[in-house]
Chain A
Amino acid sequence: MNDMSPDGYTTEDGRSIGPVVMEMRNITLRFGGVVAIKDISFDIREGEIRAIIGPNGAGKSSMLNVISGFYKPQEGEVWYMGEKRPAMKPYQVAQQGIARTFQNIALFDGMSVLDNVMTGRIRHMSSGLFAQAIWKGRAEREEVENRARVERIIDFLEIQHIRKTPVGRLPYGLKKRVELARALAAEPSILLLDEPMAGMNVEEKEDMSRFILDLNDEFGTTIALIEHDMGVVMDLSDRVVVMDYGKKIGDGSPDEVRRNQDVIDAYLGVAHD
């Protein structure tokens, strides 16, 4: 897709995609002798749903962890909002506006759904420790404002009925949705979803797909997601990166990727004769 204009492109369904928000340049990540990611470059554009797919152990999750700062690549650069990102701790990356969910769900089990989602607002609450301690002026205003936004997100994801329930008591599918709500509450410039549909039944998968599409549509959120389920990915995403054994073997629209011989080989296996 090298012919793409720097300002963006228009998708098949008529959504206009903006300029590049994040660019990975020649990322290589090693764990000891194991190369998890090998010299991969790709970009994420504003407003698009970008998928990273590949068979088990292809390095997809590692890639997401590089983007969110949990892993530090040995080589390569991450460019964010037109600037090279210096070495950063994960919480700093989060404060910059990159929110994520986890493959195995990482929620605060002892806290209510509402409180969980409220933690997502932390990067938007700037009043200091002392103001917070006495809860006056700015701190109080902030709490009220942010609470209102959180309620909107809770409505949007249809989890009003469990607002006060401790997350630890919820079933798996709802937990996934709460985690999405928390990430969304950060109003991220990029939302990273690590296998949002993993372990779900068909109905839950359909719900989740609908939420992902809706939030992209409604809030214009840029989404980068990892998924196993090829069918889901092809329906959801605007552009797809395909990884296999830590290498990039395809990049383009779902149709382009589907026709790519390397991708077909990786997924269906190659006949060796």
Chain B
Amino acid sequence: MPDQLVWGMEVFLNGLMTGVLYSLVALGFVLIYKASGIFNFSQGVLALFAAMTLVGIMEGRVPFSHLINATFGTDIHNFGWNVPAFAAILLTMAVMVALAWAVNQFIFRHLVGQEPIILFMATIGLAYFLEGFGDMMWGSDIKNLDVGLPQGINATIDEVTYEIFGYGFFIDNLDLAATLVAVLLVIALVLFAQYTKYGRAMRAVADDHQAALSVGISLKFIWIMVWSLAGFVALVAGIMWGTKSGVQFSLSLIALKALPVLMLGGFTSIPGAIVGGLIIGVGEKMFEFLVGPMVGGATENWFAYVLALLFLVFRPQGLFGEKIIERV
């Protein structure tokens, strides 16, 4: 088998795995958009904040330590304990739920019935606030995150592919773990949305507030639930990206990569977020591999956006988006 083809297959597989990580971020967007019609610009920062909080709790850092030290002249940084990863994840989730409550209480409760653009602007504000708040709470240093996920080259795949092709594929264990987690998460979310009372209530609220109230659905409860779910997805995405490349500001920028994923998959479709992520992931890696060398490389930076643009022109609702039905 020609080398070119074998390498291509490796690139393809790696693209799939990267795509899964894009999908994870996109999922958070879709959840909130489906339930509240809000395009949540702060999803990326939410992932960053979740990852920071997780690291902070695991390492026993004192929140707001800089602020406390500067105000009272103390010098405390650490509680001096380490929290096991699993407990820390649960605690972080509790923080994300509290954050969901606060977001609803202080922002969106007051914006019910406003134009989408106003809600969108509010999430931009929220993004900036959370960014600063996270830094103030946990410090702005680059943090390492290790919750015990497997990392490094997967030896089995390396060996097996070497047997077959005479060339060992480099597949990162972390990417495999992320894929597995993402698949489980998506299945769970789809089932939850389709077949449970709360999932149905969530879709109902997205569709019509008045009607939802008339069947006894509390909007407040659903919104807090949805933001908590988005916080949960952000936490998962934060763990994956944070483990991969460290918890730092650039983590929040993955939100920008989620935008083309959403345009491809449709803003309202959970499976769409997944397929969109995979297409972008594979597409940009293969494009770089095949066309990159001819144009001097670095195509990964723009490929996704150009693809999204093409979709906007030819299929604005995305691959899986709800068809825009307009009865006249």
Residues of A within 8 A of B (CB): 68, 70, 89-92, 94-95, 99-100, 102, 106-111, 115, 118-123, 125, 127, 129, 132-133, 135, 139, 142-143, 166, 168-169, 182-183, 186
Q: Using known A-B contacts A106-B210, A182-B215, determine if residue A115 contacts B198 with beta carbons closer than 8 Å.
A: no
Contacts of A182 in B (CB 8 A): 215
A146 to B24, CA, bound (A): 33
Whether B143 sits at the interface, judged by CB under 8 Å, is: no
A121 to B201, CA, bound (A): 10
Q: Using known A-B contacts A106-B210, A110-B206, A125-B197, determine if residue A133 contacts B215 with beta carbons closer than 8 Å.
A: no
State how many angstroms separate the Cβ of B271 from the closest Cβ of chain A.
Answer: 15
Q: List 5 A-B contacts (CB under 8 A).
A: A107-B207, A107-B211, A111-B200, A142-B197, A182-B215
State how many angstroms separate the Cβ of B287 from the closest Cβ of chain A.
Answer: 34
B206 touching A100 by the CB < 8 A rule? no
A-B contact count (CB 8 A): 102
| CB contact between B216 and one of A110, A118, A122 (< 8 Å): that residue | A122
| CB contact between A119 and one of B191, B192, B215, B325 (< 8 Å): that residue | B215
Residues of B within 8 A of A (CB): 188, 191-192, 195-201, 203-204, 206-208, 210-219, 225, 268, 322, 325, 327
State how many angstroms separate the Cβ of B188 from the closest Cβ of chain A.
Answer: 8
Q: Using known A-B contacts A122-B201, A129-B225, determine if residue A169 contacts B325 with beta carbons closer than 8 Å.
A: yes
B207 touching A109 by the CB < 8 A rule? yes
Q: Is the interface of A mostly helix, strand, loop or mixed?
A: helix
A92 to B231, CA, bound (A): 27
Q: Is the interface of B mostly helix, strand, loop or mixed?
A: helix
| CB contact between A70 and one of B213, B215, B216 (< 8 Å): that residue | B213
A68 touching B203 by the CB < 8 A rule? no
Contacts of A135 in B (CB 8 A): 191, 195-196
State how many angstroms separate the Cβ of A91 from the closest Cβ of chain B.
Answer: 5
Contacts of B197 in A (CB 8 A): 121-122, 125, 127, 132, 139, 142-143
A109 to B211, CA, bound (A): 11
A92 to B216, CA, bound (A): 6
State how many angstroms separate the Cβ of A108 from the closest Cβ of chain B.
Answer: 4
B216 touching A123 by the CB < 8 A rule? yes
Query: Lowest 6 CB-CB distances: which A-B pairs, in order?
Result: A94-B216, A106-B211, A108-B207, A90-B213, A95-B216, A132-B196
